Amino acid sequence: MRGCGAHVFAAQCVDVALQYLSVSAVDVIMTDVSVLRLGAPAFVDRVRSIPRHVTTPILAVTGWTAKDVHPVECGFSAFMQKPVDLDRLAAELLRLARDGAPVSARVAS
């Protein structure tokens, strides 16, 4: 992503990510669902409780299927299952940054 000109903040844990988001504006949030110790819905709720991120798009990327994750119910803006093609990932991140958060999760195949 940095190679495409994106500014990337990689958090080592959810608490660090939420702390960063509480003081920083970002265009898109990307997370691997499997690292969310508090669970995907709770993570999305915590992000949405930060005023500057009420509508920031959140992309879930995981090895799990959409059926396992339930991206719409969790509040994700989009979902991609691993393995992810990097060109498609970059395109999805650009789309989310440009278009914002849709009403329901888009599952990129």
Per CATH, the number for 11-108 is 3.40.50.2300
Tell me how far apart the alpha carbons of residues 21 and 9 are, in angstroms, rounded to a whole number. 10
What pLDDT, in 10s, does the model give residues 45-102?
Answer: 999 999 999 999 999 999 998 888 888 898 999 999 999 999 999 999 999 998 875 5
**Alpha-carbon torsion angle 77, 80, 14, 50, nearest 10:** -10
The domain segmentation of the chain, as residue ranges, is 11-108
Q: What is the pTM of this model?
A: 0.86
Determine the Cα–Cα distance for residues 25 and 23; give it in Å rounded to an integer. 7
pLDDT of residue 107: 53
- Per-residue pLDDT at 2: 77
